[in-house]
Amino acid sequence: MERPPRAGYLENRLRPGPRPWQRRFYEVIFEADTPYGRAFDVLLLAMILLSIAVVMLESVRSVREDWGPLLVAFEWGVTLLFTAEFIARLACVDRPLRYVFSFFGVVDILSILPTYLAPFAAESHSLATIRTLRLLRVFRVLKMGRHLSEANTLLRALRHTWPKITVFLTVIFCSIVILGTLMYLIERDAGSGFNDIPTSVYWAIVTMTTVGYGDIAPITPLGKFTAAMIMLFGYAIIIVPTGIFSAEVIREARPKSFPCPGCGRQQHAQDALYCDLCGAALSG
């Protein structure tokens, strides 16, 4: 039985198109198991690193003044190459939109947009450093697919815990507004910097997240007591989303336990659709 191409949430289970040329292109562009595919990925990673270095150098005034036109020309050349690569990826998969809205598809789009937007918004060019995310492809090049599998586990855990975390963040937002307003009422006449509610809410955010810039501090006894309670509350709330997420990661990492109809293997990854050993479809 032919095993279908494996992919996780990062590329949304992409498959090559039906035509022979699509399969050949797919093998080179999306796989790293062949000499051509590995060479393509290594060359791509080298271009990504060079383009990031160029963007960083262009932000240095002395370098920009001496080498500006050359750096801009190189950046446009790299962007055109990345654009051609993105079009090639779309052309060789069976469902192009699936790649467009996958993790790597979104990263590819965001990595080429800043250069095209630069003539209209000069500062947007610096955002091209988002290409750093494209370096995640190094895991496939170095045959570290297990790490991408772990990334898929984290993404699934985040997706499953998001409703709980959303409710938690809503409660925290309400608490911050209420506590910030309370500190404003306590400290507004003390000359301690709590001059309005937005500033007091900013202080509450800084305090509850345990950052503590120190630019604003209460000076009244009641204000200090309230601030101490908010600090303790801040320490307590940090562990809540961490605990929710950690529990879900542990659950996701626990392998499925049901027999493969083809070979009888019992243990399978949570998101497995096919047996890693024989390639048979899993029905569990």
* 131/169 same-domain check: no
Band (218; pLDDT cuts 50, 70, 90): very high
Residue 222 makes CB contacts below 8 A (sequence gap 6+) with: 186
Tokens 């947007």 — which residue? Answer: 124
Mean pLDDT of 166-183: 89
What is the reported pLDDT for 125? 63
Q: Could you tell me the CATH number of the domain that includes residue 235?
A: 1.10.287.70
How wide is the angle at C-alpha 209 spanned by C-alphas 201 and 194, nearest 5°?
25
Mean pLDDT of 12-30: 85
What is the reported pLDDT for 3? 43
* 202/116 same-domain check: no
What is the reported pLDDT for 170? 87
Domain that holds residue 239: 154-253
* 57/108 same-domain check: yes
Choose between 204 and 139: higher pLDDT: 204
Number of domain units in the chain: 2
* 128/218 same-domain check: no
Residue 142 makes CB contacts below 8 A (sequence gap 6+) with: none
Q: What is the mean pLDDT of the chain?
A: 81
> Has residue 2 got a pLDDT over 50?
no
Mean pLDDT of 101-122: 85
Residue 46, classified by CB atoms within 10 Å of its CB into exposed (0-12), middle (13-18) or buried (19+), is exposed
Q: Could you tell me the CATH number of the domain that includes residue 113?
A: 1.20.120.350
**CA distances for 20 relative to 27, 89, 93, 95, angstroms:** 11, 15, 12, 16
Do the domain assignments include residue 236?
yes
Choose between 201 and 6: higher pLDDT: 201
Do the domain assignments include residue 5?
no
User: In the beta sheet, which residues pair with residue 219?
Assistant: none
Residue 219, both tokens: 């000076």
Do the domain assignments include residue 240?
yes
* 130/183 same-domain check: no
Nearest to 106, CA basis, from 140, 129, 130 = 130
| 47 contacts 78 by C-beta, under 8 angstroms | yes
> Has residue 50 got a pLDDT over 70?
yes
Q: Tens digits of per-residue pLDDT, 138-148?
A: 655 555 555 55
117, 143, 169 - which closes a domain: 143
Residue 19 carries which DSSP code?
A: S
Do the domain assignments include residue 12?
no
Do the domain assignments include residue 170?
yes
* 61/121 same-domain check: yes
How wide is the angle at C-alpha 81 spanned by C-alphas 104 and 38, nearest 5°?
60
Nearest to 45, CA basis, from 181, 112, 128, 136 = 136
* 127/198 same-domain check: no
Q: Tens digits of per-residue pLDDT, 31-48?
A: 877 888 888 888 988 888
Band (6; pLDDT cuts 50, 70, 90): very low
> Has residue 1 got a pLDDT over 70?
no
Do the domain assignments include residue 197?
yes
Do the domain assignments include residue 275?
no
What is the reported pLDDT for 151? 65
What is the reported pLDDT for 226? 93
**CA distances for 224 relative to 200, 201, 205, 265, angstroms:** 14, 16, 16, 62
Tokens 């051509």 — which residue? Answer: 36
Q: Tens digits of per-residue pLDDT, 61-81?
A: 898 888 989 988 998 999 999
State phi, psi for 267 to the nearest 5 degrees: -95, 125
* 121/179 same-domain check: no
3-state secondary structure of 6: coil
What is the reported pLDDT for 255? 58
Residue 266, both tokens: 């019992």
